[in-house]
Structure 1
Amino acid sequence: MWAAAAGRRVASVVLRRSWESLCTQGQRALFTAGFRECEDRSDNDRMRERGGAAEVIARGWQVSPESESDWRSHAAAVARSIDLIKARLEWKKLLARVQELDVELAKPNLWENAAKAGQFSRERGALSGQVKSVISMEDELLEHVGLAELAHEENDTQVVTDVTQGLAELRKTASERELVALLSGEHDSRSCFIEVQAGAGGTESMDWAAMVMRMYRMWAQTRDYEVTVVDEMPGEEAGIKRATIRVDGLYAYGYAKTEAGVHRLVRISPFDAGKRRHTSFAAVAVIPALDESEVSIEIGESDLRIERFRAGGAGGQHVNKTESAVRIIHIPTGIVTQCQADRSQHRNKATALSMLQSRLHQMEVTRRAKANAQHTQSLSDVSWGNQIRSYVLQPYQMVKDLRTNYEVSDPSSILDGEIDGFIMAYLASSSAP
């Protein structure tokens, strides 16, 4: 990634020098004015809707494979990516929201409500970053196109080659940002909790639940996310009855939320002496990890029942000899959270309470939005009939997502954490008009 970024910076320097060698300052200004506005605008002016990418699309240049050295094709591909990104971000609404936030942030009494001020500031920063990213990419596209056309008129093949290489790099960047634009939900950029619970079926389902949890831990590690085991209840013979991990990293929730639902396994059971085929289920729930300042849910002490117990499983001498684990029951809703990850009872209680607040917040959001049940906040809300993916190990091998029909014939790679194909397929299908 760093090498690619450095390469783009070098290419930019080369292109600018080529630009300067091709024309006078007056010629550059005249040409640039036809494509974009002056560079001394304020941030707000730069954030308004522009039509640079649309102008390139209107030229009707065909998009060819990336391997072909055609600057027009690369430019057309970049322009279409920008256009798609704007559609996914709902560009007009995005710009309007930035202006609304600017008005709120400019009010003299803003910090009378610190929580709301912080919320506005964070939202403005996130949206501003999205807008500036698109504008920067569009600026770079227009500069490359302008230089390429001028170099073509001057028959400067070296500059055309440099521009083609620069546009090819920009094309890759734009393609990557298309995927990021799919993650534009309120909490998509946050870390998350992933909870897995075994379905009916005893040892077989508990073993499957452990396999599913391992799959997510390996997926998180391949993305360089930090994984912390928050809670785990082992099965009597094998696997787990229930487990929760926290995944810390940018867009962890945005990606992982696509996995919420019921996962079904078909295989010849290693626990059946008769070698019969069994079907097992595991439920997955994903909730965003929110800061206290982001959660507006007030929880009364009388609404909580707090239980302390000894942590189970391996954990060293201290963790198993003291009642450091904490379970919190929210009496009005019946939601239960618990944590035994730390030797400190105080920190375990704080983590369990944070999970409870996030769940209650998500429940309220879901209620208001009347969201689909697969995006609810607790495992108890995930219907066993809501199967999202089927994993078949025998008599044939296949993993198929029942929502998108995306399938892979190598279950081993999927169970080793290579699930990005399923995640991206779902994100793409859910964003389609």
Structure 2
Amino acid sequence: MNKSQFLITAPHSGSGKTLVTLALLRHLKGRGLKVQPFKCGPDYLDTKLHEVAAGCSCYNLDLFMADADGVRKRYAHQAFQADVSVVEGVMGMFDGYDRHLGSSAEVAKTLNIPVVLVVNAKAMAHSVAPLLKGFATYDSDVQVAGVIFNFVGSTSHYQMLKMAAEEVGVEPLGWIAKNDELRLESRHLGLQTEDSEMVDEVCNKAASSIFTNVNIDRLLEVTASSKPTFVEQPAPSSTKIRIAVARDAAFNFIYPANIEALEQQGTITYFSPISDSHLPEADFVYLPGGYPEFHAEQLSANHAMLESIRNYCSSGGAMLAECGGMIYLGSHLTLKDGTSYPMVGFFDFGTTFRDAKCTLGYRKAMLGSVEVRGHEFHYSRSEGELPASVAEVLSATCNPCSTGIYLKNRTLASYFHFFWGDGGHSMVEIINRISMIESLGKR
């Protein structure tokens, strides 16, 4: 059985592929189709927008954080159950962490699905022909099914673009006019995601625009291919543990694949460091990243939760704290305006957002004998005396990074957003193993 499945990509960032993706997800859902979204790369913000548009979880497909087999299995497991699968690319079509490696084109080849190009056609006419020819022929293993033109000035402008595309053998699928209402406001870590009503409204408006000028039926027809083979998930562990995961407005940068991996290990209870008074009973606690800086006053004022977290860590409970989670465990959080709030105080160092620059990129490190991979993206920096890192952190191209991974008792903390789903090692096992190694080394 064939089904429509495709990857939306572009020659460069800023072409509008996220809005096109959201519009298609919402439009196809409105047709009564079960549509499954995916996102190339490590982004944990666009995935949340996809979830609003499609009404279901969006999964990352990342060829640095997971291997090709893990990406194929993840895609097959989710896509098998859907009527249409839509993958949003990252950056430009051939932009990867090392030349083309890990790029949208590499993901499309790995999954054997076609791509649909979104081209920013502002101030372009027939010059789009050599652009399209280059992208369509640069790698013969990548199938370009068609092109959608964005920021088109008029119907006559589209006719010129259409003729150029047909001349080089790339099928034009339609066009989108510039519309200032079809915007999602940016902020320091990406698109606004907390206002679901605003995102929902943009999705509806974008879907109407796409429906008007893009031939959706033809898009589904030219992107139809063999349905993926069903892949079973691993059997749950026979030894179940109690897992507590922070999830609220301050802590929400969570890869769905990581949660599914945790579910294989035990039973998850979610809690809110903002509003709950204490930790649930747990054998392992996960504090993911998020926006603690936007909720610093509330977090600092919740003394009962601060004490509960501090007591858990101090008594040797196993915990993973990533980025915002690590910030929360520190002594203080200082905002851009200089206002400072006390935090948990388990670690002696604090965090400041004053005079901090953007730090981002893929990361990898050896924790004991296990290589862990993930991503770093933040506009803050640690201040105070930092403990020694338990591992050297490297970039995707093996250059040393200043990022540390800190272990105290059985609490592991870092700016590193770890990815352990889709074939990765159990973080519970890694923390137990590295804690034992560190304990032996201090004897």
TM-score strictly above 0.5:
no
TMscore range, shorter length: under 0.3
Q: Name the TM-score, length of structure 2 as normaliser.
A: 0.22
- Between Structure 1 and Structure 2, whose CA radius of gyration is higher? 1
